[in-house]
Amino acid sequence: MKTLHDFNFNNQKAIIRVDFNVPLDEHFKVTDTTRIEAAKPTIDKIIADGGSVILMSHLGRPKGFEEQYSLKHIVEAVEKVLQKKIKFVSDCIGSAVEQEVANLASGEILLLENLRFYSEEEKGDVAFAEKLANFGDIYVNDAFGTAHRAHASTTIIAQFFPNKKCFGFLLAKEIESINKVLTNSEKPVTAILGGSKVSSKITVIENILDKVNHMIIGGGMTFTFVKALGGQIGNSICEDDKLDLAIEILKQAKEKGVQIHLPVDVVAADAFSNDANTQVVDVKQIPDGWQGLDAGPKSLAIFDRILNDSKTILWNGPLGVFEMDTFSKGTIALGESIAEATKNGAFSLVGGGDSVAAVKQFGLEPKMSYVSTGGGAMLEMLEGRVLPGIAAILED
């Protein structure tokens, strides 16, 4: 796996695919610089070597050129994070960009305009990729969040750099962390899969059953399993067409010697509201008109014991409706159990939009071994797929 350490960037122009798809407020100010900060070590290494940097990214889902999606809005935030002046050009191909690239001196950084202003980017157009490739001497992919897309700048461009392409530090770390869970894990391995639907996690479950010792199932998925096992789930969310699948998963797990842990009690509510009436009930005996919205105290005690005995932990999906304060306790307690296990030497990987949002919201991010930056990309790797953006770098 070629990384930045395999190259000296002195007098080289590095064209880097970064993921600067950051959130903006109504005044077009960046509200979360996490993704920019994640790319900083890669940019710093190239500049320290005496190279120059051309940054390319997308922002949002524009239909052609839309001013609100211009990367000019993020220049100030990028300069603040990198602590360097950066140049910006209001296009990503064409003569104006060629001129800026030609004038780029060692130590300088140029940010190109939003790649998705051209439909060729998402189509994976070869001619468009070649135009981008002509700007750089070395291609660096550091955008894990888009590595599962075969777009021009994430995948197709790599073919124009047969021996001069590599992973940036962020993307290398993502691959390493996921491999640490899937292939090089220290046992016992525990996976926590939450979220509302079994259907969205089925391929992940099937792929990781061979690799884990314990699987904790939480969130809305719980109730499909509980109903399949004959429990009363009241008004809880359930995929009635997946009941047979839930039984099949339990059967496969048993055959493979994997222990599946469902919540034994839940915090049930009489409405989907932060102000609803609540009661703690047995997960198999939720009264009519009530719905389970968080894991209960007995469940959390069981999960805590399992996690504290684990050496490798994967967390993908919350235990309850953590966005509502009343139903956030289970997710917070789970996060604290993982943090404690990590402190005691376990390796913990957190990924998936909601889990990442939860660890950030509750201040748990620094207590985890690694928090992934790419929701969809991580999910596809956990499903056992080879991501096109990664494969393109590994090919000669």
Catalytic residues: 35, 197, 353, 376
Is 353 annotated in a binding site? The answer is yes
DSSP codes joined into one string, 222-239: HHHHHHHTT-EETT----
Tokens (6 digits) for 220: 């809305």
- Alpha-carbon distance of 113 to 18, in angstroms, equals 12
Q: Is 196 helix (H, G, I), strand (E, B) or coil?
A: coil
Are 268 and 290 spatial neighbours (Cβ–Cβ below 8 Å)? Answer: yes
- To the question of whether residue 136 is assigned a binding role by annotation, the answer is no
Q: Is 387 annotated as a binding residue?
A: no
The letter for the amino acid at 346 is A
Contact status, residue 4 vs residue 140, Cβ threshold 8 Å: yes
Task: Kindly list the distances between the CA atom of residue 356 and the CA atoms of 28, 229, 245, in Å, as whole numbers in the listed order.
Answer: 23, 31, 28
Sign, CA torsion 19/22/27/29: negative
Alpha-carbon distance of 169 to 25, in angstroms, equals 29
How many residues does the structure list for the chain? 396
- β-sheet with 265-269: strand ranges across: 278-282, 265-269, 291-295
The reply, when asked if residue 354 is annotated as ligand binding, is yes
Q: Does the annotation place 343 within a ligand binding site?
A: no
> Rounded distance, CA 24 to CA 60, Å?
10
Residue 257 in marked binding region:
no
45 is in an annotated binding site: no
Would the annotation count 385 as a binding residue?
no
Residue found by looking up tokens 């991580």 in the block: 378
Was 308 annotated as part of a binding site? no
Count of other CB atoms within 10 angstroms of residue 304? 17
The reply, when asked if residue 103 is annotated as ligand binding, is no
Q: 20 a known binding residue?
A: yes
Task: Answer yes or no: is 355 a known binding residue.
Answer: yes
Task: Give dist(CA 139, CA 222) in Å, integer.
Answer: 44
* H/E element, 177: helix 169-182
Rounded distance between C-alpha atoms, residue 81 and residue 51, angstroms: 19
* Residue keyed to tokens 């953590």: 322
201 is in an annotated binding site: yes
Q: Is 61 annotated as a binding residue?
A: yes
58 is in an annotated binding site: yes
280: its two tokens: 């703690």
Distances (CA, A) of 225 to 80, 123, 231, 247: 48, 40, 9, 7
Annotated binding site: 19-21, 35, 58-61, 116, 149, 201, 292, 323, 352-355
Binding positions for substrate are 19-21, 35, 58-61, 116, 149
Residue numbers in the known binding site for (2R)-3-phosphoglycerate are 35, 116, 149
Residue stretches of the annotated binding site for ATP: 201, 292, 323, 352-355
